[in-house]
Amino acid sequence: MDYIKGLNDRQREAVLHDEGPLLVLAGAGSGKTRVLTHRIAYLIEERGIFPGNILAITFTNKAADEMKERAIGLLSGNLDRIWMGTFHSICVRILRQHIDRIGFERAFSIYDRNDQIALMRECIEELGLNEDRYKDRLVLNMVGRIKDSMASPDDYIDERYMDPVRENMRGLYRLYEKKLKHNNALDFDDLIKRTVELFRADSDILEYYQRKFEYIFVDEFQDTNGAQYQLIRLLASGHRNLCVVGDDDQSIFGWRGADITNILSLKEDFHEAKTIKLEQNYRSTQNILDVANSIIKNNNGRMEKRLWTDRDRGKQVVVENVSDQDDEARTVLNRIWEHSKDGHYKLSDFAILYRTNAQSRVFEEAFMRNDIPYRLVGGLKFYDRKEIKDIIAYLRVIQNPVDDISLRRIINVPRRGIGRVTMGRVEEYARGIDSNIYDALMDVENIPGLSARARNSLRSFVDMMNGFMERQKAIGIGEFIEEVIEKVGYIGELEDKGDEEAQSRLNNIEEFLSVAVEFETYNPDGSLEDFLAGISLLSDVDKTEDRDDAVTLLTVHSAKGLEFPVVFMVGMEEGLFPIIRDSESDSDIEEERRLCYVAITRAEELLYISHARVRTIYGRMNYSKPSRFIYELPEDLIDVKGELNRDFHRGFNDMAINPNERLIRVRDYTRRPMAPSGRVAVDQDQIKEGTKVKHAKWGFGIVAQLKDRDDDREATIIFDDVGLKRLLLSIAPIEIVNGG
């Protein structure tokens, strides 16, 4: 039986598990994907389970593709009927079939972040709210958190429901949902929320999928949020053959709703679940694993496990003490040069991991100066470029004409004489007849106030789009998209410009056509809505352009699930890693520690950890403390380059917010409270990054970072005497220093 060959005892036990729920606690690099794929192969080959009765859920398309490829390699049969994909793609597949049961049309659009922002700005403007007080991204974050909890706008009531800010937030949520429905569109949070709603509203559909999915697999279970867990619980309540694979030590997405307690909920809802621990690591050397173990053991409330390997101990982890960020970049480049010049390592074997995207700049500049190829995960991605988003918007309107957001984007792209005044009259007419913009355009002859030229332009646009809607049914996706790009005049406009930027955009369009042709090759029966859904569901890592041989630069969050022979963990300083905004509570520090554990376990053979004595932040040079996590490393496991000042380790607990500030944080601060001094808190609009301020207790400082925090703004301030502090601007006893 090939599906159990080469497995260790614990892996074999998980693969051959009989019936009922199973929790596999899989440490980093312990072969969890192998267990999942081999168990799927076992069920199909040995137990005779039909592939269409298996559901396997992952968090990225790449993970799903890898899982499917491995399973196909174990079996001779075709696995096309198996349901394998991300939470979002699985939900899209279900909603395309049944969403009409809850009041949507099946040809719905899926809005990305930019679409959501545009729609929320409409809501803020329509309700006449102050855009500085009600920031689109802040409100969207609030809406996302509420949707994860499966709450509706009317459910958004708590003990402060009479507060006007909360009431306005609820009004924005309600209007946002109304506009999504009007546009026949869903945002990412809706894909899961609406699927759960569908199952709760229609027991026949729920029972159908409960019967269909005899065996359900969930990868990276520790990253699930409330709505995702509800989806899993509903589906698995039929056969109860649920296999979840996860690691509480790698739960690093709490900031986006991941709930580590779902593992506990699983034990309550599926009390008969068997637990199997995978602790043998197949990725890293023992020295690297011992370093990881020494870090993560400092977290409380974790499910105990200790990674081990039968590989060599390997080399010690190197801790580099550098002078500043430029010295750090030079040191990393020198290490890469040393390890690659003899041909033992390729450039693609190296990865630089950092806590925040802003840290990539100094490395990018160094690589460009030295002509070293690199790939940046999380930078401006192919699908985020203007010309690609424009073309996708055209395709969205063709597929779903009631999508007002996409229609506004392209109605005058390329320019066809349809300006703001014209569109204002069209939208006013649409509101008057309680309709969407496209339906209003179909009635263009009756829209008052339009010039003859504008009317002709609108009529031509509608005729063109109607033609596309008919044409897309007759030809393949690749040919159709090429025809759309040509006929709308996009290519012609770029060719007329003839500059370097225009040529670059033309190259991107050609690459997009390659994407369409590739889709058609692998999905001969795929529709336009399938093509658009596939693009909408790509994650940041999925969107990253691959290069044959280049150094990889990425945040630790983006590195989850990846591995590299040589890893550089840079910026390991207090305020950066752990990041300063996460120093307020034990739970936040524990998530930062898990993040550090994830970073360490990306390394297979060599690991370098660096911290700078001085780092320039927002134009100001500051002395830095080494990260507290460095001091959690056993001295016999690390090779320290340069002096590591152990005195820096004192007083880490003192850096957290003091008890009085904690009390202030939880009070109702939505009514612009008085500062402790008795005066009105500083005007938030006057505070910028780089602003010099004076605190009533801590003296002079400079604002290093601003961040939206619930209904307030939070400032990270570097004070001359006491170092880094975080304050809520609505209550901070600070004043702006003249000239700041």
Annotated catalytic residues are 32-33, 219-220, 250, 602
Integer Cα distance of 206 and 197 in angstroms: 10
Distance of CA 500 to the CA centre of its chain: 32
DSSP state of 585: S
Inter-residue contact 568 to 608 (CB < 8 Å): yes
Residue 288 identity: I
Inter-residue contact 731 to 681 (CB < 8 Å): yes
Structure tokens at 71: 């399973």
Please list, in sequence order, all residues whose beta carbon lies within 8 angstroms of the beta carbon of residue 628, skipping any fewer than 6 positions away: 574, 578, 649, 652
Write phi, then psi, for 469 (nearest 5 degrees): -60, -35
**How many C-beta atoms lie closer than 10 Å to residue 595's C-beta?**
26
Burial (0-12, 13-18, 19+ Cβ within 10 Å), 105: exposed
Taking each helix axis from N to C terminus, what angle separates 477-487 and 452-471, rounded to the nearest 10 degrees? 170
Structure tokens at 40: 């799927």
Structure tokens at 37: 């794929």
DSSP state of 579: B
Integer Cα distance of 272 and 249 in angstroms: 23
Per DSSP, helices labelled H in 127-271 are 136-148, 164-182, 188-201, 203-212, 226-236, 262-269
Structure tokens at 677: 């001094």
Peptide bond into 578 cis (omega under 30): yes
**How many C-beta atoms lie closer than 10 Å to residue 635's C-beta?**
9
- Considering all CA atoms of the chain, what is the largest pairwise distance in Å, rounded to the nearest integer? 82
Integer Cα distance of 612 and 624 in angstroms: 7
Inter-residue contact 90 to 57 (CB < 8 Å): yes
Q: Is the dihedral of CA 192, 196, 199, 202 positive or negative?
A: negative
Integer Cα distance of 307 and 567 in angstroms: 19
Integer Cα distance of 445 and 703 in angstroms: 56
DSSP state of 570: -
**How many C-beta atoms lie closer than 10 Å to residue 239's C-beta?**
17
Inter-residue contact 551 to 335 (CB < 8 Å): no
Distance of CA 114 to the CA centre of its chain: 14
Structure tokens at 297: 């053991």
DSSP string, 454-517: HHHHHHHHHHHHHHHHHHTTTS-HHHHHHHHHHHTTHHHHHHHH-SHHHHHHHHHHHHHHHHHH
Integer Cα distance of 129 and 6 in angstroms: 63
Burial (0-12, 13-18, 19+ Cβ within 10 Å), 384: middle
Integer Cα distance of 560 and 258 in angstroms: 14
DSSP state of 266: H
In 3-state terms, what secondary structure has residue 194?
helix
Integer Cα distance of 121 and 362 in angstroms: 34
Nearest by Cα to 11 from 35, 36, 44 = 35
